[in-house]
Structure formats: C-alpha cells, structure tokens
Amino acid sequence: MTRLSVNINKVATLRNARGENVPDVKRFAEYCETCGAEGITVHPRPDERHITRADVAELAPVVKTEFNIEGYPDERFMEIVREARPAQATLVPDAPGQLTSSAGWDVIANMDFLSGIVNRLKEWGVRVSIFVAAEPEQIEAAARAGADRVELYTKPYADGYGEDPAKAVAPFVAAARTAAKCGLGLNAGHDLNLRNLAFFADSIPNLDEVSIGHAIISDALYLGIDATIKAYLDCLKKH
C-alpha cells in the first residue's frame, strides 16, 4: 500500500504564533506515528516561519517510521540534512520567501546543479527525491541526475478533479509509467485531500508515498488527528 507521510509544518506554524512550545511538534509527530502515519515530512524554510532547524534536530532521533526533509538545496538545507541524516531528502525549487511550492523543477536546465546535490546526499546515505511536474522529459532528466525517486506536483490534478477526474489524472498515470521505465520510485504531493486522494491512489501505478500536510491538519480540526490519519490511510487502500 502507498505510504502516508504527514507534513507537520502547520503544527509548527500554530506553535510559533505564541512563541512557546504548544503544540509540541515532536510530541505531535510521535502521536501521528502512533495513529498509523508511515512517515513524517518537514520543510525547514530559511525564515523558519514554521519548522525550525532546532525542530529537525529534535525530530531526527525520535521519528521511527520514515523522516523526509524537503526544501531548496542551498548550503543551509544541506547542512540540516547532513546533521539529521533522514531517510529521504526531497528537493524543491522554492524561492526563499515563497508561500508554498508552486511548480516542479526544470531538471533539464538545472542538471549540473541537481546532479551535484544528489551525489552529496547519496554520500550521506540519504535517498533523494526530486519534485517535478507530470512531464515525462523532466522525469527522465531526474533519473539522469541520479535521483532515487520523483515527487509529482499534484496541484494540477487537484484543480481539475472536480470537473473531470479521469482527464485530470491521465498525465499523472503517464508520468508514473515513465518513472517506472526509468527505474525511479514515485511519490506525490500538493493539494491531495480526502475528496480526491482515493481516486488518485487507485489510478496511479507503483505509487510509493504521498506527503500531505495542510489538508490533514485542517481535517484534524474537525475530526481529530487519529480519525483523520485513519481516513487518509483508507483512501490509500486499493478500492
């Protein structure tokens, strides 16, 4: 079954609003795992508006499932990954002040840069995923760059799901097949939620992992995190 990695950035956002340690990010991550989450994702941005470098240091030894650190691979990010040694690093092309990820990498144009980053991460024993659009040529380039996986940017699917689910998912099915041909593992994330996740998971072959944060934390306000994680895990079962 596809693994569910819970992105806990929004929990840190809530904590930072008061400048104290409520809610406790580390405790929340541990509780998510107790509830069935199969991974924890964080995105330590340079401005530390949610997850901080100190959070990563605290989380690294306590996450028992799979720790995924995502971000733009500048030297600060690389130092954080080197210190934490997560199971996976997901490379995203976000600018420093960007609100949220809004596009995948142009891997072809950034081949030399990304290849060098991938090599460094692999030397540290970290699996590397590159965030890309559902474009076969970018997926093929990610394989040439040495990535282990790609993470598909799924906002276009989420935007089109309400009008025509089959049409919206078709490019992602093709992308998944390209990834498999290239020997790449496959992750996905961005705007996946309880409304559109089950159809996506049923449609996409060889989907290793989805990373979901905003929707899970929002749903947990109504349902509680235990029931929310269970609901998302049910979406990932083949129906």
Q: What is the pLDDT of residue 217?
A: 97
Q: At what angle do helices 136-144 and 165-181 cross, to 10 degrees?
A: 30
Q: What is the pLDDT of residue 51?
A: 97
214 is catalytic: no
Q: How far is CA 23 from CA 15, 17, 206, in A?
A: 5, 10, 35
Q: Whole-angstrom Cα distance, residue 93 to residue 115?
A: 14
Is the pTM above the cut of 0.75?
yes
* Catalytic residue chosen out of the listed positions 33, 66, 190, 209: 190
Q: What is the pLDDT of residue 100?
A: 62
Q: What is the pLDDT of residue 238?
A: 73
190 is catalytic: yes
Per-residue pLDDT of the chain (239 residues; tens, 9 = 90+): 899 999 999 999 999 999 899 999 999 999 999 999 999 999 999 999 999 999 999 999 999 999 999 999 999 999 999 999 999 999 999 766 655 666 899 999 999 999 999 999 999 999 999 999 999 999 999 999 999 999 999 999 999 999 999 999 999 999 999 999 999 999 999 999 999 999 999 999 999 999 999 999 999 999 999 999 999 999 999 76
Q: What is the pLDDT of residue 94?
A: 77
Task: Give the gyration radius of the chain's Cα atoms.
Answer: 17
CB 186 within 8 A of CB 207: yes
pLDDT in tens, 48-96: 999 999 999 999 999 999 999 999 999 999 999 999 999 999 999 976 6
* Catalytic residue chosen out of the listed positions 38, 43, 50, 135: 43
Q: What is the pLDDT of residue 13?
A: 97
| Nearest Cα residue to 12 out of 30, 2, 31, 26 | 26
| Strand intervals (E) in the chain | 3-7, 39-42, 67-71, 88-91, 127-132, 149-153, 185-189, 209-212
Structure tokens at 235: 């979406």
Q: Whole-angstrom Cα distance, residue 224 to residue 101?
A: 26
* Catalytic residue chosen out of the listed positions 33, 38, 66, 70: 70
Q: Whole-angstrom Cα distance, residue 181 to residue 93?
A: 24
